[in-house]
Chain A
Amino acid sequence: MSIDYNKPFVGHYIEFFEIILTDLGGAHHHFAPSVDYDEVTGATSAFLFAGMSYEPIPIKLTGVVSTTSGAPSTPTLTISNIHKRLMSDIQLYDGLVGAKVVRHRTFSEYVGASQEMQIQNFLISQMLKIDREQVVFKLNIPIDFEGTKLPFRVVLKDDGFPGVSRNGSRAA
């Protein structure tokens, strides 16, 4: 895939998503904002990637910015609410707070080979808005949670850190 980065055109840019509610006790949704369209026969079918069928629904992720300073970005995920697809889940699982969102990205030429760019993981931190047309969620990257601790122990100023000396000599 990387060898094609220099080409002027490498197919349609495609995004598709997973919304994973299994940790909350719910379902594992696969959503894509498009359907597969056969330009020879005109037939349509659900978008397929790596053997998985993605349900077509208007869905978009915006505000994904990588930065080395300041607060991490908080993207927003917008999903159509025209057919109330997620309403029951939203009511059952507290606005889907804590649900995992996986963003997949690829180009149409690589769909058949199931090749994609590195996936991006997010967690739903808040439901920002719900109306007749859409549901908007605020997302966090998984490490952007206040109070989150590194596994096993908390690094404290007074205790120092193994291998780090405050007086110039290494602790035994």
Chain B
Amino acid sequence: MADELPLINKIAQTSSHKIRENVIGVSYGNGYEQRTVVGENQQADSWSLNYLVLDEVEREVLLSFWRDKGNHDSFTWTAFGDLFEKTWLISGNYSETALSGELFKVAFSIIQVFEL
């Protein structure tokens, strides 16, 4: 059982969601086009997650989670608006800003992955 994304009630509304799909299409002659998606797992979600005001304990929870998962180990999360949980992987760097001595702003991105 994969771990779950922690502190989901702390994810800010400034977080953003994208969906990508790899489609190839051909349109010759008078413009009639045919399209296909190459492969089964080509439509994946991604989120840029923002945690705006974290205290030191919360920040440590998130930092430990990031260090544990890195960019290599997947976890689960039911994203906003989704009806079921999906499997995700952290994409790119962990970024944090100290708002004050005790409060932090954290951001990182995740992408959906397809695993057994």
Residues of B within 8 A of A33 (CB): 39
User: By the criterion CB–CB under 8 Å, are A14 and B40 in contact?
Assistant: yes
Cβ distance B108 to chain A, nearest Cβ, rounded Å: 22
* Separation of A8 and B37 alpha carbons in the complex (Å): 12
The segment from B11-19, B28-36, B97-105 found at the interface with A is B28-36
- Chain A 7-51 per-residue mask, 1 if CB under 8 angstroms from chain B, else 0: 111111111000000000000000001111100011011110000
Contact, CB under 8 Å: B42 / A12: yes
- The interface residues of chain A lying within 8 Å CB-to-CB of B57 are none
Known: A42-B86, A44-B116, A46-B116. Contact between A37 and B41, CB under 8 A?
yes
What chain A residues lie within 8 Å of B84 (beta carbons)?
41-42
| B36 and A47 contact, CB distance less than 8 A | no
Within 8 A of A (CB), among B92-116: 114-116
Give CA–CA (A56, B113) in the complex, Å: 13
Instruction: Report the minimum CB–CB distance from A11 to chain B (whole Å).
Output: 8
A14 and B39 in contact (CB under 8 A), knowing A37-B114, A42-B85?
yes
Nearest B residue (CB) for A47 = B40
> Which of under 10, 10 to 19, 20 to 34, or 35 or more describes the interface residues of A?
20 to 34
Asked whether B1 is an interface residue with its Cβ less than 8 Å from the other chain, the reply is no
Contacts of A37 in B (CB 8 A): 40-41, 114
Judge whether A93 is part of the interface by a CB distance below 8 angstroms. Answer: no
Q: Of all chain A residues, which has the CB nearest B36?
A: A13
Q: A44 with B40: in contact, given A8-B33, A8-B34, A9-B34 (CB under 8 Å)?
A: no
Residue on A nearest B33 in the bound complex, by CB: A8
Chain B residue at minimum C-beta to C-beta distance from A10: B36
Determine which of B33, B36, B114 lies in contact with A34 in the assembled complex, contact meaning CB atoms within 8 Å: B114
A34 touches B39 (CB 8 A): yes
Interface residues of B (CB under 8 A from A): 32-42, 82, 84-87, 114-116
8 additional A-B residue pairs with CB within 8 Å, beyond A8-B32, A15-B39: A11-B37, A12-B37, A13-B36, A34-B114, A35-B41, A37-B114, A44-B116, A107-B36
